[in-house]
Amino acid sequence: MADTPRILPDEVQRLTLQAPLPLDCGTELPDVQIAYETWGELNADKSNVILVCHALTGDQFAASPNPVTGRPPWWPRLIGPGLPLDTDRFHIIATNVLGGCMGTTGPASNAPDGKPYATRFPVITVADMVRAQRAVIAALGIEALFAVVGGSLGGMQALEWAAQAPEQVFAAVPIATTARHSAQNIAFYEVGRQAIMADPDWCDGDYIAQSRQPQRGLAIARMAAHITYLSEEGLKQKFDRGLQDRDTASFSFDADFQVESYLRHQGRSFVERFDANSYLYITRAVDYFDLAGAHGGRLADAFKDSPTRFCVITFDSDWHYPPADGREIARALTAAGAEASYIEVETDKGHDAFFLEEPRFEAALAGFLNAAAEQRGLGA
């Protein structure tokens, strides 16, 4: 496996926050840098901005190739001229989340003493991620967003934006997400974290200083998580019980089944682009996410009298964040008096459907954004 790539300053666009960032854990993080990318033109009154929030292991390169890893954009079907997030009409901004490893300050970044934070990095939450994004938006001279759009962890950020700063969000589209991480999902992420920490090359989190990388543990963490992003039907159609083309007469620890080979490839490719400590911190932030708990235990109170327009989108084969989670969000929005719609898309692609070709999802997203743009007074 290749070493995790080092990020060079001239490869990533970053903004340094002028003030320390207050965190939910009670401390402040100094000299925070947020990496971001933009597409499309900002209109005269800066009213056409869509913030795109990435999922757990994503980055800011939603609509352009990643110059660090060489990977293609992860939302090319949605962002661009004439697409649902139309760059001829909207100004799109995507940031790398706080705690990330693609240019934003995280565990791999240097602390004030010049050494990598590693596990000295403070505990972060989804709310902290949104505070950092709000600081970036303000620094860019943008007072309000037309829309916040994101799937999975990105959907959590969209909900948190609407809860933290409803007056700054005209429309929000939380996709394939939840308002509260379930015990089952916490359990899956804990398996991944334990795999990383059990790797001898983790070195109690100090692996960068020791020129090592916990590649095996991180690969296993990715494999375990990736299973939850797929559906049983999708796996059956793609692999079923297909065997690799080799002699299986004797027992081997090699991948016998095609699905095993697929998961191992997912693990190998993941360690080439992601930092292990970032994975620990971001998965923990997701586990802590409980929007109702942050508002007295009643989810509707997070959106009381919200002026934001919402479109909650789920996928019927998603068992990571199932449709029931989306319906709970939609009911809470209705109870809060918010303008909200709920769309459940039939698909066999599971949780990852929002990354893949899914015309019904794309049409639903485009329809909502176009209707909201008309309400906002944004021309076609």
For the annotated catalytic residues, the residue numbers are 152, 318, 351
**Within the chain, how many helices (H) and strands (E) appear?**
9, 12
DSSP string covering 60-99, please? Answer: S-SSS--TTT-PPPS-TTTEETTSSEETTT-EEEEEPPTT
Q: Distance (Å, rounded) from C-alpha 199 to C-alpha 307?
A: 48
Q: Distance (Å, rounded) from C-alpha 188 to C-alpha 159?
A: 23
Q: How many CA atoms lie within 13 A of 353 on its CB side?
A: 30
The neighbouring-strand residues paired with 169 are 145
Amino acid at 176: A
SS3 290: strand
Residue 337 tokens, joined: 């008096």
Strands 21-22 and 28-29: antiparallel
- By C-alpha distance, which of 57, 53, 63, 363 is closest to 229? 57
Question: Cβ atoms within 10 A of the Cβ of 65, count?
Answer: 12
Cβ(316)–Cβ(347) below 8 Å: yes
Q: Distance (Å, rounded) from C-alpha 303 to C-alpha 249?
A: 60
Residue 250, C-beta contacts closer than 8 angstroms, at least 6 positions apart: none
Q: Distance (Å, rounded) from C-alpha 38 to C-alpha 279?
A: 25
Alpha carbon 70 to chain centroid distance? Answer: 19
Alpha carbon 322 to chain centroid distance? Answer: 17
Cβ(218)–Cβ(196) below 8 Å: yes
Question: Cβ atoms within 10 A of the Cβ of 144, count?
Answer: 13
Q: Distance (Å, rounded) from C-alpha 373 to C-alpha 30?
A: 37
